[in-house]
Amino acid sequence: MLNPYSERTEWFEMLTRELPDMDIQLWPDIHNPDSVEYAVFWVHDTEDMRRYPNLRAILATTAGVEQFAGGDYPDVPIVRLADETMAGEMAAYAAHWVVHFHRKMDFYLDQQAAKVWRPTRATATGDFPVGILGFGSIGRHIGKCLAGLGYPINAWTRTGGEEEGVTHYRGRDGLEDMVSASRAIINVLPHTPETRRLIDAGVLAHFAPGSIYISLGRGATTIESDLVSAVEQGVLSAAVLDVTETEPLPPDSPLWNHPRVRITPHTSGFTRAPTAAPLIAANIRRIERGEAPFPVYDPRQGY
C-alpha cells in the first residue's frame, strides 16, 4: 500500500519497476486490503491501518519519524528512510550557509551595493570549527562535506562517537562544551522526548559569542523565542532556520523579518522517488528474504 505525500505517479512507477512481482496498490484505491503486506507513507490514518491484517512492515518516506511516536500504529517494524542523496542535499545546504557567514558574504553584498572594493580577511578555515548536533547518517554526511572543505568538526550525540578526525561530545556537559568550542552550529537532531526544546536559553548562553546557528532537522528541538533573544543580544550573529516550531512559520512570527535570521520552508533536502523508492524496495526485498531491514525506528530512542 502506497500513500506518498507528493509525486504520486513517480512513486507508483518507481516501486512497480523495482518490485515487478508485487501488486502495488495506491491509496485510497486499495482493492484487496488482505493482500497488503507493506505500507509506504509519511503519515497515514491509524484507523485505516487496521484494514490490513497481514501487514509486515511500514516503510516511512522520511528520515525523521516522530510522526509515529505514541501513535496507535500496528505492531510491525517501522523502517526509516536513510537516503544519502537527501543527506547530500542537506550537507550542501549547511555548507552554503557556513561559507556564507564565515566568508562574510553579507558584508560583500552590502559593499557591492555601495560599489566598494575593500577586501577584509576572513578567519582561516582551520580556525572556524563547526559543531554538528546529531551525528547519524545525515550529520556524518554534513561533517564529511565540511571537513573536506577544511573545517574542524565537532559532533554532539546522546552516546558519543568514534569517527576519526571529529571531536566527539556527549551528555549535557558535552553539549555546553561543544557549542562553546564551535563557531557555527548545525542542528540535525531528530525530534524525540530528549531533544524536544533542547536548544533553550540555557544552552544558547554557552554558544561562542557571534556564532552562527543553522537548524535543518526538526523545529521542535529549538525554543524560537530564546533563539530570537540570543540573536538580539548578539550571542549569535545569525540564525538560519529551515525548520520551525510550527510549520508553516506563522505570519506573526518575529523570525520572518529579523535582519539576522534567514528562513527557508523545510527544503534543505527532499525525499525524491528516484532515489528513495529503490531504497524502500531494497528493504522490502530484505524482509522477503528473511533479513532485517534498516534503519528500523526504535520507539524507546525516538528515532
Grid coordinates belonging to 83: 537516503
The correct pick among 18, 30, 62, 137 for binding ligand GLV (CB under 6 A) is 62
Q: Which stretch binds ligand GLV (CB under 6 A): 2-10, 43-51, 59-67, 234-242?
A: 59-67
Q: Cβ 154 to ligand GLV, closest distance in Å?
A: 23
What does residue 249 show for φ and ψ, rounded to 5 degrees? -60, 125
- Is 136 a residue that touches ligand GLV (CB under 6 A)? no
- Is 64 a residue that touches ligand GLV (CB under 6 A)? yes
Give 154 or 221: the residue with its C-beta nearer to ligand GLV. 221
- Is 79 a residue that touches ligand GLV (CB under 6 A)? no
C-alpha angle 66-79-161 in degrees, rounded to nearest 5: 75
Cβ neighbours of residue 25 closer than 8 Å, sequence gap 6 or more: 1, 2, 31, 32, 35, 36
Give 129 or 217: the residue with its C-beta nearer to ligand GLV. 217
CA–CA gap between residue 283 and residue 82 (Å, rounded): 11
Give 135 or 169: the residue with its C-beta nearer to ligand GLV. 135
Q: Cβ 276 to ligand GLV, closest distance in Å?
A: 9
Q: Which helix (H) or strand (E) holds 131?
A: strand 130-133
Give 62 or 167: the residue with its C-beta nearer to ligand GLV. 62
Encode 165-189: b = buried (16+ Cβ within 10 Å), e = exposed: ebbbbbeeebbbbbbeebbbbbbbb
CA–CA gap between residue 254 and residue 239 (Å, rounded): 13
Q: Which stretch binds ligand GLV (CB under 6 A): 23-31, 60-68, 151-159, 165-173?
A: 60-68
Question: Exactly one of 266, 272, 285, 286 is catalytic; which is it?
Answer: 266
C-alpha angle 213-215-221 in degrees, rounded to nearest 5: 110
> Catalytic site residue 266?
yes
Total residues contacting ligand GLV by CB under 6 A comes to 4
Q: Cβ 281 to ligand GLV, closest distance in Å?
A: 17
What does residue 56 show for φ and ψ, rounded to 5 degrees? -110, -30
- Is 214 a residue that touches ligand GLV (CB under 6 A)? no
- Is 139 a residue that touches ligand GLV (CB under 6 A)? no
> Catalytic site residue 51?
no
Sign, Cα dihedral of 51, 52, 53, 58: negative
Q: Cβ 132 to ligand GLV, closest distance in Å?
A: 17
E-strand spans in 176-303? 184-187, 211-215, 236-241, 261-263
Give 209 or 274: the residue with its C-beta nearer to ligand GLV. 274
- Is 271 a residue that touches ligand GLV (CB under 6 A)? yes
Q: Cβ 222 to ligand GLV, closest distance in Å?
A: 15
CA–CA gap between residue 117 and residue 69 (Å, rounded): 54
Where do contacts with ligand GLV occur on this chain (CB under 6 A)? 62-64, 271
Active-site annotation, residues: 218, 266
